[in-house]
Structure 1
Amino acid sequence: MLNKSKWVKDNGYGGIIVWEITQDDFHPKCCSKSYPMLRAINHGLFGTGSGPETYGCERK
């Protein structure tokens, strides 16, 4: 999501829509932080918060 959100910003689009939010890890079961998808989008669009590499979601 980080690269996609950076592409949206770099190409002058107005934002991103997320159709189904329930697939995001809101109970941090798979990652060390909740809402990794929304965090990645926010980081790509606004450069805020820590990057996705810090979420602990890497596949093992």
Structure 2
Amino acid sequence: MTKTTYIYLLTNNIQQAIEDELRETLSEQEIQLALSSRLCDLEETININKYINESIS
């Protein structure tokens, strides 16, 4: 996986972890928008590297 991978292409576990982390700082509308974007679009909001590394493991 790369930073340009769309969130919806990730496993359900990773998607849920990303959503949980986004809930700490974003509104529901912003979360839905974020979940339809690419990992690199979230780079300034959350640490995407752990999700990239997790999918490789």
TM (norm. structure 2) is 0.32
TM (norm. structure 1) is 0.31
Hey, which of these two has a bigger chunk of helix by percent?
2
